[in-house]
Structure 1
């Protein structure tokens, strides 16, 4: 229940930010639907959404609904990556790599911190990323 509440909060907060996406080909294993420096959850967690009801919540988000097709529910999984609360601007979370095996998809997550000595503002941020995985195979996050 707690994860569901956090997911709903994340989705709500995601609707407050602009979205950006990584260019991807039609056969790409994954697509970044949105990646924001702020607007995620205050705790660090990764959530895999594969259930129809969970994915439907993403479709209700103003910034994501145009990026999720109706048939994606049957053919895709989604991942919400929350970096948690950070005390400075400049943090970012993203997928470093995605490898498909016979049985699953292995996702490696990369967390990026501001460069040492940078003049990042001292504000509380909550970086997050929402990713569409173009497969229904089991997902392993590293």
Structure 2
């Protein structure tokens, strides 16, 4: 049981640190600011924050302190990905890809379910992820 819990923690840490790389001097298109297996909403939904007053609410979150600058209020949008209530641990929600077109930003979301037969925490969880999009273009989530 300790091995599976340790494996789950390692996987979540890997996903929580994922962001695109900046290899050609261009601005990074997106960053995963926070990925947690608990603390999200009760239902599955994606929320796009574009207004300064909405983004300021994120700045006040203890887990996001120091990750959102004043410039981000004018230059970035944010997306909250909620997976909803899950019966056990082992679930996660993350970004599969982010693509910029001439007109918008397209985010492909990946929901991760635990392997069948895996040893899991037996408590209800609420997985969620907060993503910073370094653009003010309209966002579509798939």
TM-score for the superposition, normalised by structure 2: 0.83
Residue deviations 1:28-47 (CA, integer Å, cap 9, x gap)? 21101100011111111100
Partner residue of 2:8?
A: none
Unmatched tracts of structure 2, length 5 or more: 1-12
1:21 aligns with 2:22: no
Cα distance in 2 for partners of 1:124, 1:89 equals 7
How many Å apart are 1:125 and its aligned residue? 0.2
Unmatched tracts of structure 1, length 5 or more: 1-17
3-state SS of 1:71 partner: helix
Cα distance in 2 for partners of 1:62, 1:124 equals 22
Partner residue of 2:6?
A: none
Higher Rg: 2
3-state SS of 2:66 partner: helix
Contact 2:19–2:30 under 8 Å retained in 1: no
Partner residue of 1:48?
A: 48
Query: Aligned pairs, how many?
Result: 124
1:95 aligns with 2:91: no
Cα distance in 2 for partners of 1:119, 1:62 equals 30
Partner residue of 2:76?
A: 76
